[in-house]
Chain A
Amino acid sequence: MDRIPILKLGGALIVTIQVDMHDRLALALEEDLTAMIARTGARGVLIEISALEIVDSFIGRMLVSIAAVSRVLDAETVVAGMRPAVAITLVELGLELTGIKTALNVERGMALIQARLSDEDDGHGSDRDRHED
């Protein structure tokens, strides 16, 4: 079965979605990400979607679900790189990406996650082992 690769960079996991999502792939991604957050103690998940030509309610639900599970595991989800036409359509569709932070591109998305990581390094962090950059 196809799998979407997940990269680890410091305390963050990075996923870039380059293919048309279908049911099994969405489920596999959610499972793989969840397992990897638990294994690595990652505090942030960056999902890059600039290759996605549409975000329908199916993909929206997948993103919301990944964010919800990640949050329970103490990781924050940032969706980066949404195409402008997709953003316009998403609003008209009525889809709200509840619990998801969005960023214009990967660079800004990583900055959001890094900000959270360094906040915690300044003394608000948990006692979890983390990989430093």
Chain B
Amino acid sequence: MTVTKTEALPVRSGDDVVRVRQRVRALAVEIGLGLVDQTKIVTAASELARNTLDYGGGGDVRMETVLAGTRKGLRLTFEDQGPGIADIEQAMTDHYTSGGGLGLGLGGAKRLSNEFHIESTPGSGTRVTIARWK
């Protein structure tokens, strides 16, 4: 798999979440995702960006367009240096929340993506990677 383009944006405010959504939409259009797939990856990005902000205390997102053979994809990596997640399985459960949210962010983002990967170390941060393929 080759990375054809890499961009990064900060996720430190509500306005940043809006900017991430707009940039993810533009990249999704660029690789030729259909309208429903665009909407899914932008919604997943919005959930994860908000998690980064609300639970991770802010962080960054790396956005990559990738190519596997002739297949184009969009890969997003959200990273924070926040408190981390002690029990990932529990955090993935729908309607579980450690904050004031609806608890749909992680599970929802996973359902809206073709690939989902999460790593977290309590005390040092969380990294979530998703991908959507054309």
Q: How far is the CA of A29 from the CA of B89 in the complex (A)?
A: 35
Q: A85-B35, A89-B43 are in contact. Are A94 and B111 (CB under 8 A)?
A: yes
A88–B36 touching, CB < 8 Å: yes
Chain A residues in 8 Å Cβ range of B42:
53-54
Q: How many residues of B contact A (CB 8 A)?
A: 26
The answer to whether B25 touches A57, judged by C-beta atoms less than 8 angstroms apart, is: no
Q: Please indicate the chain B residues that have their CB under 8 angstroms from the CB of A23 in the complex.
A: 14
Contacts of A58 in B (CB 8 A): 46, 50
Point out the residues of chain B lying under 8 angstroms from A85, CB to CB: 35-36, 38-39
- Interface locus among B15-23, B77-85, B121-129: B15-23
In the docked arrangement, what's the CA distance between A15 and B43, Å? 23
B32 at the interface (CB under 8 A from A): no
CB neighbours of B36 from chain A (8 A): 85, 88-89
**Is there contact, CB below 8 Å, between A89 and B46?**
no
Report the Cα distance A114→B46, complex, angstroms.
35
B101 & A61 in contact (Cβ 8 Å cutoff)? yes
Q: Inside 8 A of B12's CB, which chain A residues have their CB?
A: none
Closest B residue to A20 by beta carbon equals B18
Residues of B within 8 A of A54 (CB): 21, 39, 42-43, 46
Residue A56 at the chain B interface, CB threshold 8 Å = yes
Given contacts A92-B111, A93-B112, contact A56 B47 (CB under 8 A): yes
**A53 vs B46: C-alpha distance in the bound complex, in angstroms?**
12
Q: Write the A79-99 contact mask toward B (1 if CB under 8 angstroms, else 0).
A: 000010110110011110000
